[in-house]
Structure 1
Amino acid sequence: MGSTRRVGRGAGSRSRPLVTLGVALVATSVLAACGSETGKTINVYYAPEENFQTVVDNCNEQANGRYQIVYNKLPRDADGQREQMVRRLAAEDDEMDVLGLDVTWVAEFAEAGWAAEWTGKNKAEAEEGVLPGPLETAMWQDKLYAATKNTNIQLMWYDERLTPEPPETWDEVIAAAKRLKQQGKPYQVVFTGAQYEGLVSMYNSITESAGGQILSDDGLSVEMDEGAVRALEILHELTTAGITAPGLTNAQEDETRLSFEAKGSQAAFQLNWPFVYPAMQEGNPERAEHMKWTRFPEATAGEPSRSTIGGYNLAVSSYSKHQPEAFEAALCLRSAENQKFSAVSDGVPPTIESVYNDPEPIDPSKPAGDDNPNMETAYPMKDTILDALKEPGVRPLTPAYQNVSTVISTVLSPPSSIDPQATAERLRSEITDALESKGVLP
């Protein structure tokens, strides 16, 4: 939300002028400007990402005239992206070749017959070196229906001047915030509390951290076990302890970021995606010097937290007239080299584990630095991200996810009104109804 219902599930984009660095990655192909020698066009439908065209140009260079990839930008909001693709695929539109799918849509598109299965050599290449959590988001019923392009995961961001040693559990977070408030210092815990996918992601993270499940493993029935109820208890306690911001119920990713980033902010802790790091460098350089990060809080002391995965996967349309070339293009667009470029230029975490430890900058002929970043300079929190990605939370996998998400965000809003047992019963009932309505149109 990955999401959060926004581009890249909260991935954000870096505002540093890195487009020129694409020249060091590849020279823009003359073929990209003039078309392919065969006349084959591979249409890629993907979310707006500032430097993704450079990745496309790189892959057109590698295609060497056999086809030309064209980047078709989808709407900026995730709901608009899904709606546009769903309507065209429902009409069996054969002009769509590669589909940029939010991690929560793969099951839906696979079940509807819109996403082609990855098999053989394509499957092996798409799976090679990919972290298990992100790979799970590209699968449905033990089959691969997409290649992982990027992932995302929330961390807890804090001001080291207020809490030199960050709290590790939700109980400790709440206690620390209350203590800071009593001392007259910034104290608020800010997160995505609006009625949308961001609240669902928050609840899922706490549920997973408590060892719970919302749906059964096969996605066909409601689980809502003790861990899911414990997560409701934590959300209720967090939002009724007097330590959240007044605008919590309107807070999506950017509002959450700004409430922590603002000068004179009363926020001490922020739950958000890594895009907040580069934003803070420009938005509030003074506080940026003291902003640190740690993993999502534990629900139970000593039990690793499991933050919800975001990100995007690349599927090949079942109606594509050029499926062999579409699979090849998708593999190129999410190659290790291009995942690294997208990570340091657009702030989207890689799904391939080896990329995190790649020391080379964008231009290997020059030293790494602000104008020639590598993973270390662009992603100082990369080790924490990788650590969290090895123990992730994955949103319930179901073709009816859109319906399930809508129900959860509605029932949990506002989170201060949660009555754990009663809310759990309502979720059980309404999610069951949502699962029985598996329509894919918006």
Structure 2
Amino acid sequence: MRKWLWAALLCGVLALVVVSCGGDDDDDGGGGGDAKKAPAVDANAKGDVNWCIGKDTSGAYGTAIDLFKKENPKITVKLVELPTSADEQRAQLVQRLRAKSDECDVLGMDVVWTAEFAAQGWLQDTTDIIDPRKSDFIASTLETASYEDKYWAVPYHTNAGFIYYRKDEVPKLPSSWEDLYAEAGKGNGIVYQGFRYEGLTVNFLELLYSGGGKVLSDDGKAVEVDSPEAEAALAFMADGIKQGDAPKAVTTYMEEESRRAFESGNATFMRNWPYAYSLGKESKIANDFDVGTFPSFKGGDPASVLGGINLAISAYSKNPDAAAAFIDYATGEAVEKANFLESASPPASAAVYDDPQVQKKYAFASDLKAAVEQGQSRPVSPVYSQISEAIYNNVHDALQGKAEPKDAVKQMSDDIQKALETF
């Protein structure tokens, strides 16, 4: 694989991971515009559309605009690039929306922003855009665009984690996390994203969800994380470090530290995102590893946690008809396939993973589709960033031995309750 694809994989797919870091905790509860219903897709739409989204490091967004222009010459889409950092993207969008600016028609949003932006009245209801095409999307991706029984965005790019394993050290991927850690202890261990940041929230939720636990009630108004399931998940992670199944250094690892440790031969297993696959195939262990979907924990169903980007229409857009037409096309199969082939941006569209060209280029396409299908959303709340901080801070304390898992879960619950009370 040529080196340009390395860059595309790292800047494109990893961006979908890093973009889900939440944002700052500022939330003055200031109201946005009144909730509006976005128009259904109109073939006669015309005019100008501004698409505000993070920097186009992979070229995917430019490709989407070019393909759309060929089919829709009456609509001109301008790309308004925001910073690379997810926090800075969110800050700039929030600034515009609080000012009721009409600069942005289409908003490129991290999947965890949906509830916050919808609750503030900053988005138009996109249910009429999604409903005619609902079966096109992998069902789990639609959950990331939903808040209070309505759709406020349309899934564009998605992402879900893999287990990487050394097939020269273990014959097959264990079917449970418990067996996987046991094998890790016999070999060179497991590495994952254990640093104090969003990645650790995701790693914890993957175990919590599989074990039957929850963070919030279904309506998002009550804290349910102080549970035997959460304590079991956290104790399992902490014991893994104590027993040497995972190295103590894992509490300093993000995605790249994990990848480098695995490629250096210092781990039998690795939890990471799909971007690491092609990079690994250019490393010294290129022929010695494979990937698979997550195993189960405590006998539950395997669970992954989704990242990605959704497209929404600003409540202050002056051309929602053209914005709806662009979103409908950009989230369709033609753009999704082109983006996946050219920049390794995983599609929310189910059919793309089964495309012969995609299957030929990406050996992991079927595994990635399965990982997305088993994916779940992070806690849906307007104060998600504060909830995530409560999770990763307390999980990290337990992993470092600064708090017992039971006490850490109790403190996590208290911190999340305080977060809910701020909105």
- TM-score band w.r.t. shorter chain: 0.7 to 0.9
Query: For 1:298, which of 269, 286, 296 is the aligned residue?
Result: 296
AA aligned to 1:269 is F
Q: Show the counterpart of 1:274.
A: 274
Q: Distance in 2 between matches of 1:7 and 1:75?
A: 12
Query: For 2:367, which of 377, 384, 389 is the aligned residue?
Result: 384
Following TM superposition, by how much is the alpha carbon of 1:385 offset from its aligned partner in structure 2, in angstroms?
A: 2.1
Aligned-pair identity in percent equals: 29
Query: For 2:68, which of 31, 34, 59 is the aligned residue?
Result: 59
Q: Show the counterpart of 1:366.
A: none
Q: Show the counterpart of 1:29.
A: none
Q: Distance in 1 between matches of 2:335 and 2:228?
A: 42
Does the aligned pair in 2 maintain the 1:316–1:323 contact within 8 Å? yes
What do you get for the CA RMSD once the two structures are aligned?
A: 2.1
Q: CA deviation digits over 1:222-248, x for unaligned, max 9?
A: 001322222112111122222334532
Indicate yes or no: 2:109 matched with 1:101. yes
Following TM superposition, by how much is the alpha carbon of 1:47 offset from its aligned partner in structure 2, in angstroms?
A: 4.7
Indicate yes or no: 2:137 matched with 1:135. no
Following TM superposition, by how much is the alpha carbon of 1:164 offset from its aligned partner in structure 2, in angstroms?
A: 1.8
Change (3 A) 1:39 1:428: closer
Query: Please, which runs of 5 or more residues in structure 1 have no aligned partner?
Result: 13-36, 181-186, 360-373
Q: CA deviation digits over 1:243-288, x for unaligned, max 9?
A: 33453222211222222123xx311111011111111223x0x312
Change (3 A) 1:329 1:233: same
Change (3 A) 1:44 1:329: farther
AA aligned to 2:302 is S
AA aligned to 2:153 is A
* Pairing 1:54-93 to 2, within 5 Å after superposition: 54-64=63-73, 66-93=74-101
* Pairing 1:244-283 to 2, within 5 Å after superposition: 244-262=246-264, 265-282=265-282
AA aligned to 2:80 is N
Indicate yes or no: 2:170 matched with 1:149. no
Q: Show the counterpart of 2:408.
A: 423
Q: Show the counterpart of 1:184.
A: none
Q: CA deviation digits over 1:50-96, x for unaligned, max 9?
A: 121122111122221x2211222222222122112112211111101
* Pairing 1:15-414 to 2, within 5 Å after superposition: 40-52=48-60, 53-64=62-73, 66-120=74-128, 122-180=129-187, 187-224=188-225, 225-262=227-264, 265-282=265-282, 284=283, 286-301=284-299, 303-359=300-356, 374-414=357-397
Following TM superposition, by how much is the alpha carbon of 1:11 offset from its aligned partner in structure 2, in angstroms?
A: 9.1
Q: Show the counterpart of 2:417.
A: 432
Of the structure 1 ranges 338-347 and 99-108, higher mean CA displacement relative to structure 2 is found in 338-347
Following TM superposition, by how much is the alpha carbon of 1:386 offset from its aligned partner in structure 2, in angstroms?
A: 2.1
Q: Show the counterpart of 2:31.
A: none
Does the aligned pair in 1 maintain the 2:164–2:291 contact within 8 Å? yes
* SS in structure 1 at match of 2:223: coil
* SS in structure 2 at match of 1:349: coil
AA aligned to 2:323 is A
Change (3 A) 1:41 1:397: closer
Following TM superposition, by how much is the alpha carbon of 1:128 offset from its aligned partner in structure 2, in angstroms?
A: 3.5
Q: CA deviation digits over 1:383-415, x for unaligned, max 9?
A: 222223332222111111011111111122242
Following TM superposition, by how much is the alpha carbon of 1:6 offset from its aligned partner in structure 2, in angstroms?
A: 6.5
Q: Distance in 2 between matches of 1:57 and 1:250?
A: 41
* SS in structure 2 at match of 1:421: helix
Q: Distance in 2 between matches of 1:387 and 1:141?
A: 27
AA aligned to 1:428 is S
* SS in structure 2 at match of 1:413: helix
Q: How many residues align?
A: 383
Q: Distance in 1 between matches of 2:209 and 2:201?
A: 12
Following TM superposition, by how much is the alpha carbon of 1:315 offset from its aligned partner in structure 2, in angstroms?
A: 0.6
Could you tell me the TM-score, scaled by structure 2's length?
0.86
Q: CA deviation digits over 1:24-63, x for unaligned, max 9?
A: xxxxxxxxxxxxx976243332453412112211112222
AA aligned to 1:267 is A
Q: Show the counterpart of 2:10.
A: none
Q: Show the counterpart of 1:22.
A: none
Q: Distance in 1 between matches of 2:258 and 2:92?
A: 28
